Amino acid sequence: MEKDAGGSIVYFLSIPQAYKNDLARIRQWTNLKAGFDENIIWIRDLNYQQVYSTEVRSIPFATAYYEKGNQLYLLDRKLPERNVPGLLWTPIDRALPVKLPSLNHNYFGIHDTISITMVPSDRETDAVAMIVSLDVLSHYIENAPAVRLEKIRWAVLGSNQAFLLGTPLLPIPGTTVWSRKDLLFPTGYDFELHSVSDVIQKKINPGRDSWILWDTDNSYQLISKESLVPLSRSSFRVTITNPLQQS
């Protein structure tokens, strides 16, 4: 079928009840509605980007359809497969309420465990920070106009990297990150189970006095908000000369 450039086509998804938990990866899309038909869960109102997203493609045994004239067609097929099911449609977050287990990511000190996994995500996000090498940052700020630095706050990461928070981002190579509350993720990645974000926030950072910077290998580090200082040539020189100042 042709690409739905105008966003006028409605897409559906069917999945066996046995794989209900896998729908957690799309539960945050509040435009979706769910209906139940014996052993099948139906999801409707997906748009083009959603139906072809990594989140949907990774759901086991999911079947995607597009609607035309109250009939459902398999993607890339021109003959109808079945009629739109006559179900009671409920917003997905109400139809599939989250029941969170207790968490233990080797940090929480409680009994039950779940796997906290970073996965590629097609979700569009705005970068709010970046990680760059100190050498690259040093070279840039020596000749950068002050106006390009004034909205950036920064801190040293490890022995050779800097964390830069603020937009617009500096025009230098680095790893960009986006935020959900105080959680920071590499651009293009997110938790496989989005619904654990609030629980992780409360367990790791109950006082909300730090940023939690996640890496693609599922590890994280805390960046104290108080450690961030305005970026300038002078603050960079002082920090590099006296690295313990930011500890």
pTM of the model: 0.56
- d(CA 184, CA 217) in angstroms, rounded, equals 14
Residue from 146, 111, 149 nearest 231 by CA: 149
Residue 197 · residue 181 · CB < 8 Å:
yes
Using CA atoms, how far apart are residues 67 and 37, in angstroms rounded to an integer? 18
Q: What is the mean pLDDT of the chain?
A: 83
Dihedral-angle region of residue 7 (phi above 0 means left; psi in -120 to 50 means alpha; beta otherwise): left
Find, among 8, 17, 13, the residue nearest to 32 by Cα.
13
Whole-angstrom Cα distance, residue 94 to residue 96? 5
SS3 at position 210: strand
Q: Which of 8, 50, 5 is nearest to 28 (CA)?
A: 50
Average pLDDT over residues 85-97: 84
Matching residue, tokens 């990461």:
157
Task: Please give the structure tokens belonging to residue 216.
Answer: 């693609």
In eight-state DSSP terms, residue 195 is G
Average of pLDDT values for 217-232? 88
Q: Are 167 and 127 in contact (CB under 8 A)?
A: yes
Residue 4 scores a pLDDT above 70: no
pLDDT reading at 102 higher than 80:
no
The arithmetic mean of pLDDT across residues 65-78, rounded, is: 91
Average pLDDT of the segment spanning 95-101? 60
Neighbours of 150 (CB within 10 A): 11
**Residues 14, 42 contacting (CB under 8 angstroms):** yes
Calculate the alpha carbon distances from 231 to 24, 29, 194 in Å.
40, 37, 33
Whether pLDDT at 94 is above 90 = no
Domain boundaries, the chain: 11-94, 118-246
Longest dimension (CA), the chain: 70
> Quick one: average pLDDT of 149-153?
92
pLDDT at 65: 95
Instruction: Evaluate if residue 96 carries a pLDDT over 60.
Output: yes
Distance CA 189, CA 138 (A): 28
Contact between residue 145 and residue 173 where contact means Cβ atoms under 8 Å apart: no
Q: How many alpha carbons fall within 13 Å on the CB side of residue 182?
A: 21
d(CA 34, CA 154) in angstroms, rounded, equals 44
Q: Which residues pair with 54 in a beta bridge?
A: none
- Is residue 227 exposed (0-12), middle (13-18) or buried (19+ Cβ within 10 Å)? middle
∠ at Cα 21 (19, 24), nearest 5°?
A: 125
